[in-house]
Structures are given as C-alpha cells and as structure tokens.
Structure 1
Amino acid sequence: MRLDRRLFLAVMPFALLACSAIGQDESSCAGQLEARIVGVRAEVSVPRGEACSVGTYQVAVWFEDGTVRRFSRERDGQLAGLWLVDLAHDGVLDLLISTTSAGSGSYGAVALFQWIGNEFAERKLAPLDSTQRTGYAGHDFFEVVEGELYRSFPLYTDDDPNCCSVGELARFRYSLEHDRWVETATNLPADEDATADGQAGGARAGLSPPPGEVSHGNA
C-alpha cells in the first residue's frame, strides 16, 4: 500500500498490554495496541485466555479503500510497541511490532512486516552482532524516530545486578540497506537518556503529528 509522504505520520500505541504481575495468575493477558496514519489503521492484540509470557498475537490492518488484512504470529513475552512507518523510505507501508520477554531480563524483540504483492510479508531483522552484544543483558527499548527504527539498552558490567545497571546506554539504528544494526551513540549516562525508562511506559511517539492530528502514546 503506497503512502502519501506529505501526510505521513508514525503513531505509537495508546493502549498498553494488561498483564498480570509476576507471581500472580497470568492465565489471561488480553490487550491491544493501535496505530494510525492517514487512511490506515492497525491493531495488534493478544487473544483472551493466553498467558502474558508466551502465546500469539493477532494483527488486523484496515485501509480506507476497504481492504483488510489479518494474520497472526507466535509471541514470546508481552506486546510493547506498534508502528506504521515507511522504514525502507520507498513510499510503501511497513508494520513494526515489538515485544518484551517475561522475567527480569526483559529481552526485547521487534518484527517487521512489509507490504509486498498486496499482502504483509515478514522480513527477518538481523540480531546484534557479537561486538554489539558486549555488556548486553536485555531491557531493550525500541522506538521510531523520523522514519528510522532505533534500539537502546543499558550496558552491564559483571558486578551490576540485573535490575540496576550503573553503566551507559547503547543505541543502534537498523539499516535495511545493510541489513544490520548500526551504532549511533554510546557513552550516554543512563539518567540523561529518554530510554532509561525502558519498556515500562511502552513505546513512545517519535514523530510529531501534522496540524489537526492527535498522536496517542505514553510519552
């Protein structure tokens, strides 16, 4: 589905997944995220009765011409973010969905679905390489800023407890052209970077809406 660049808007989710607290019954983890751009609305949801820690998510995308596309995927963890974005900068719609694993590590993952041949097709994103994983112990934060996908996480030393890194934040941008994560900034004090809140508040808006539009998020 081709996008009008003049009206392009990336909107972050306004609803966060309702999940049971650790140690409580997590037999039901129903919830949904929603994203909109002009002429397109997307929802991702967890079916009722599924556990927060593992299961599936269901995706539905509605276009203004009446086209509807639905699909589902396996899920490891909770829903964390949903974006409609032209990640390839080719005028074609892309869909991004991020998740956060259960447990103290809060390991993040992001899935990319590209509009190809009148359907959404998943494109696998490369993992962090061995050098980029130095000091990595989860607590990922994904965001979309000016049409680019970014990933941030705190860097841990051997002496840091899992809950509380006292180190810096690593930040990477995903390059579709080179199919890898590219380092954008390091040596950022954790208390000065917006990603220090991790996924606790969910993904946040990276682009400002045009006049008259409203962006829903947990900024």
Structure 2
Amino acid sequence: MKMNARYCLLTATVCILLAACSSDPQKAVLAKVAPAKPTVMEPFRFHKAIEVSPGQTYDVLSWGRGASAVGAFMILHSDSSAAKYTTTTGDLDGTIADAYNADMDTDGNPEILIQARAMDTVKYAKIYAYEFNNSNANKLDFPKLTTSQRKGYRGDDNFYIKDGLLIREFPIYDRNDSLAKPTGAKRQIQYGLRNNNFTVQQLSKDSVQVKDNKSAAQTVKQAQPEKRTVSKKSTKRKKAEAKKKRRRRRG
C-alpha cells in the first residue's frame, strides 16, 4: 500500500510539473530564417529569367572577369515547345541594373530591353534593345538624349514599362557641371516602337531653367584718358618768342 501511495504521489507531481511547463507564458520563439537569395556564380554578375509566354523564356545574363565597369551580356532564348535554343551576345558598358519585356509596336514579337548603368562625369544609363521573331534577334538602336533633353541631366535614370511602352524618368539639376544641385523637378520621356525604330515623346513640361556652364562674358572697353601731346615745333616757337622779347627789352 505504501508503494502504491508513493507511486501515485510521484505520478501526480510529474503531471503538475508538466502542466506548469506547458502553461508557461514565456514560450521560446523560434526565429524565422529567411531563405538566402541565390547568388550568381562567377564569372556571371547578373541573371534574370523573363517568361513572355508559356514555353518562351529569355534568360538575360552578364559576365566578365577582372573588371566591374565593362563586360558582356547574353540573352538565352529557350523555346521549349519547339526544342529550339538560341543565344544573342553583345559588349556591355557598365553594369546591368534590370531587364524588361515589352511589345511596344504590338506586332506579337517581344522586345527585350537591358538597362545598364555606367559612370563618367555623370551616372548615365544605356539601353540595349532587341526584338525577337522566333529564333531571329533584331538589334534596335536606342535614341540618345537631344540637346534640350540633356539640359540639367546628371544621370540617376529610372526606367519602367507602362501600358506597353518604356518610360524614362530622371531628376533635373540646375546646371550641367560638378556644382549642379537638384531642382526637385523630373523629366519624363516615353519611348515607343514603329517600323523597328524608336519613337520619342517628352511627357513632362520643364518648369525650371538650367543655367549654361559658360556665361557669355561681355567685354566693355573702358575709355582711355586722352594724352596731351605737345609738338616740338610749338615749344621751339615759344622759346624763340621769349628770346625776342628779351632782346627788345635790352635794346
């Protein structure tokens, strides 16, 4: 009987301890560890897969060893339904910031746009554009900024796709040299495609004026004071007249 009583008492004590532990408000919280982002293996620096339709994927990559400001890019087109695979390559100026897919001329052929960032005196942007028709890649020449569009431009471009068109935004500075300060205004440009040529339309109206680097210097000629010139002949005459007067007085 004593053994049974001790066994029952021990069992009750263990149950009470377990209940107390389970009702403890301070429970250990396991920290959630975010999965690590997949890194691009050397010598590659950038990778983005763009699926334009089921079975049609374009992998955009950049690579290069020994330098970070230059390299090369390639676009791997995988047509899994037809088991066709093509590669398009090109030289890269700068580093790839992003890649976009569009159909700006609505002809059913996708355009792959690669945005690169480079640096000289400003952080400028460069676009590498291709239109794909099945396995054929047609390179498109992206237009440069005009003289008026470059006023106050110091880089820091932002690109995005809106309504199937490419939009470009960048801040406007008060001048075009290293002393430039942002004005708070932005210039917005829209790019489309027609007959494999880009169309350009500025959407924003410039509300600020940009100073020119070289101000037109006005040279004002100061009037020089007139110099009094006394001829030698006049001095000789005065001396001769003075001598005559002296002679008359003596005579």
* Range of TM-score over shorter length: 0.5 to 0.7
Are 1:149 and 2:166 an aligned pair? yes
TM-score normalised by structure 1 residue count:
0.65
Query: Given the alignment of the two structures, is residue 31 of structure 1 paired with residue 50 of structure 2, yes or no?
Result: no
- Percent same amino acid at aligned positions? 19
Deviates more, 1:127-136 or 1:151-160: 151-160
**Structure 2: how far apart are the matches of 1:116 and 1:164?**
45
How much is the aligned-residue C-alpha RMSD, in angstroms?
Answer: 3.1
Say whether residues 1:184 and 2:227 are aligned partners.
no
Q: How does 1:3-152 map to 2 (within 5 A)?
A: 30-39=45-54, 40-65=56-81, 66-102=83-119, 105-116=122-133, 118-152=135-169
Q: Distance in 1 between matches of 2:126 and 2:38?
A: 16
CA distance in 2, matches of 1:146, 1:17: 32
- Aligned 8 A contact 1:28 1:51 in 2: no
Whether the 8 Å CA contact 1:78–1:102 is kept in 2: the answer is no
| 2-structure distance, mates of 1:81, 1:35 | 11
- Evaluate the alpha carbon distance shift between residue 33 and residue 162 of structure 1 in structure 2; reply closer, same or farther with a 3 A threshold: farther
User: Could you tell me the TM-score, scaled by structure 2's length?
Assistant: 0.57
Distance 1:83 1:76, change over 3 A: same
C-alpha separation between the residues in 1 aligned to 2:77 and 2:53?
13
8 Å CA contact 1:84–1:95 kept in 2: the answer is yes
**Amino acid paired to 1:54:** V
- 98-107 or 150-159, which deviates more: 98-107
User: Is the 2:171–2:184 Cα contact (8 Å) retained in structure 1?
Assistant: yes
Going from structure 1 to structure 2, the CA distance change for 1:145 and 1:17 (only over 3 Å counts) comes to farther
**Alpha carbons 1:127, 1:180 under 8 Å: kept:** no
Aligned pair count reads: 167
Larger Rg: 2
Contact 1:136-1:153 at 8 Å conserved across structures: yes
Give the 3 Å change call, closer, same or farther, for CA 31–17 of structure 1 in structure 2. farther
Deviations along 1:75-99, whole A, 9 cap, x unmatched? 1111011122212111112111110
* Shift of residue 164, structure 1, vs aligned partner: 5.9
Gaps of 5+ in 1: 1-14, 19-26, 189-219
Q: Letter of the 2:60 partner, please give it.
A: V
Segments of 4+ moved more than 4 angstroms: 15-18, 159-164
Contact 2:69 2:93 in 1 (8 A): yes
Contact 2:173-2:180 at 8 Å conserved across structures: no
Give 1 or 2: higher helix fraction: 2
Alpha-carbon separation, structure 1, partners of 2:155 and 2:120 = 10
Contact kept, 8 Å, 2:175 with 2:181, in 1: the verdict is: no
Question: For 1:135, what is the secondary structure of its paired residue?
Answer: coil
CA 1:146–1:93: 2 relative to 1, 3 Å: same
Pick closer, same or farther for the CA change 1:37–1:16 going to 2, 3 Å: farther
Structure with more relative contact order (C-alpha pairs < 8 Å, separation 6 or more): 1
| 2:62 partner letter | V
Question: Aligned letter for 2:47?
Answer: Q
> Displacement of 1:148 after TM fit?
0.5
Match of 2:249 in 1: none
Instruction: Note if contact 1:17-1:32 (Cα within 8 Å) is conserved in structure 2.
Output: no
